[in-house]
Amino acid sequence: MKDVISKLKLRHEKALAYVIDTYMPYVKAIAKQILEQPCGNWAVDECINDVFLAVWQNSDKFRGSEEELKKWIGTIAKYKAIDIYRKQKKMEVVSLEHSNEQINFETGELLYLNKEQKERILLKMQLLPESERELFLMKYYLDLTNGEIADALGITKSAVENRLYRGKKKLGKILSDGSEKNG
Amino acid sequence: MDELKKMLQLNVDEIEPEKVSRFEKKRVLQFVLQKKKNHSMKYIAASCLLAGGIGSTAVFLSPTIASHIPLANQIVEYFKGETSQFQYFEDYATGIDAIQESNGITIEIVDAIYDGTTVTLTFAIETEKDLGEHPSFDKPIKINGEIEGSSVTWTKKRSDTSYVGVITLTPELNGRSPRTVKLTWNPRSVWNHDTNENFEGDWAYEFHLKKIDVKGIKANYRDSKNGFTIFVPSLDITGYTINLHYKIQMPSNYALYNLPYVTGFDVKDEFGNTYEMITNLTGSTTKHAAKGSFTFANIQSGTKELIITPKLYNDNEEIIFDSFEVTISK
């Protein structure tokens, strides 16, 4: 299908059917890999539904080519699946360092995001530089501690802190207007 | 943490796609399209609203164009070979006759029926531009200001310069069946699927429809199979349609979004005629329960009884519930 992205943004149902037809095998593979064993098939199905609903409702937030669309959908699938897994396992950790903080976009101090803002960063993550994308999703979408992120990315905790500090203003800007392409 | 770490380290670029059946894809598509907040219905036309400041809309027509706009019965004639829906359409339709022209494209809402559950509209398009075999519009029609619901659209190219279409909408009326509904529609472009050309314009329509005569019949049906219970409290019968209202209670591991079955109802009469399903709409009521309606074409066969069989099905299996009979005339 030609111009699938612009058609998706115009809410053409055929474009949605095309996107499901093309990317569902990929989304299902990601959801299965993360959720099938620990949570079961219902969670896989819920994840797939959530991903395509998010894509349909937020296609206007996507910027990029069809190749980048695949990456966007894949990353949404991965993080939504992990989020479902963590909720299911009741492993959600709201660490103390987050709990009393307020969001302050103006100063770039971005310490804790509400549910809506978390969803927004997931959908706008392709505006972030690739090197920081997963780090920010782990921190602000999944609410992982810096130690957990360091372990997952194979870097030191101080490297995580350093990157988060450098990236906060950029992230704040994306969340407050989102129109500017960064990186 | 090891399990989580493994998940976090998953490289989505390297993952091998899984097999997905046609049924699974269809289920996800239906889930997304039926999801309440952002549901987008298919696209149609309606009648004139003389809205100020909308731009280039003109409400007059040259006699040449006006003469090309088909009459209502001419529109449904184009679809009668494909569906039994329009057999009695003309007997119940109200003329709307609202025409608007913008960017060289004239759209007329010709006539419409509201049967208490669904709205059916016929429309015609006249233009020198090539809109393809099945043109569609960028904005859904609103019923009582809302876009939630489902819809089925039939469109056809009638000649090089004219197109006809019928849309059947099931709005989400929250269990009510108001005596009138208000329809508004403000499309900003027509899309040619074949060439991917988009023709921008500015049309605006608004009108009210009164409910045609409806005969409500109690069914009081309930049956359970495989942990699912289906209820059919009542049917609404008009000369044009039969609207069946139902509820489903699911086992605790299922909700509407992950239901592995499609719900259906086979409707027959004592002469063995099968009634064609036109459209349906289902929405969740609680986590494991849903309710909705199925609309069938009334073929006015002179029948006294309808025999209805609920079912749940997918590509591999079918759960058939007990049939029940409804007396529709004595």
Which CATH number goes with the domain that contains B276?
A: 2.60.40.1640
Are A57 and B257 in contact (CB < 8 Å)?
no
Q: Nearest-CA neighbor of B216 among B326, B85, B91, B323? A: B326
Q: Find chain B residues with C-beta within 8 A of A48's C-beta.
A: 28
User: Is the same domain home to B199 and B220?
Assistant: no
CA atoms within 13 A on the CB side of A168: 17
Q: What angle do CA B60, B180, B47 make, to 5 degrees?
A: 15
What's residue A19's pLDDT? 95
- DSSP class of residue B194? T
Residue that terminates a domain, selected from B210, B226, B243: B210
What's residue B31's pLDDT? 81
CB-nearest to B18 from A11, A13, A32 is A32
Task: Report the topology of domain A1-92.
Answer: Rna Polymerase Sigma Factor; Chain: A (1.10.1740)
pLDDT over threshold 90, residue A128: no
Handedness of CA B77, B82, B87, B89 (dihedral sign): negative
What's residue A115's pLDDT? 66
Kindly state whether residue B34 falls inside one of the protein's structural domains: no
* C-alpha–C-alpha distance, residues B275 and A48, integer Å: 35
ipTM above 0.85, yes or no: no
Place A96 in a pLDDT band, splitting at 50, 70 and 90: very low
- At residue B22, the 3 state secondary structure works out as helix
With a CB cutoff of 8 Å and minimum separation 6, the contacts of B15 are A26, A29, A30, A33, A74
User: Is the same domain home to B219 and B295?
Assistant: yes
For residues A164-168, average pLDDT: 80
Kindly state whether residue B2 falls inside one of the protein's structural domains: no
* C-alpha–C-alpha distance, residues B322 and B221, integer Å: 10
> Residue with structure tokens 């921190």?
A139
Task: Report the topology of domain A95-183.
Answer: Arc Repressor Mutant, subunit A (1.10.10)
- The mean pLDDT of chain B is 82
Distance of CA B19 to CAs B12, B95, B110, B260, Å?
Answer: 17, 50, 46, 17
With a CB cutoff of 8 Å and minimum separation 6, the contacts of B307 are B267, B268, B269, B270, B323, B324, B325
Nearest residue in B to A78, CA atom: B12
* C-alpha–C-alpha distance, residues B126 and B103, integer Å: 11
Write out residues 193-212 of B within 8 Å (CB-CB) of A.
Answer: 193, 196, 198
Nearest residue in B to A85, CA atom: B4
DSSP string, B28-53: HHHHHHH-STT----B--------TT
Per-domain residue ranges for chain A?
A: 1-92, 95-183
Are B12 and A91 in contact (CB < 8 Å)?
no
Kindly state whether residue B108 falls inside one of the protein's structural domains: yes
Place B50 in a pLDDT band, splitting at 50, 70 and 90: very low
Kindly state whether residue B168 falls inside one of the protein's structural domains: yes
User: Is the same domain home to B198 and B226?
Assistant: no
Q: Which domain holds residue B165?
A: 39-210
Are A11 and B7 in contact (CB < 8 Å)?
no
pLDDT over threshold 80, residue A2: no
Nearest residue in B to A49, CA atom: B28
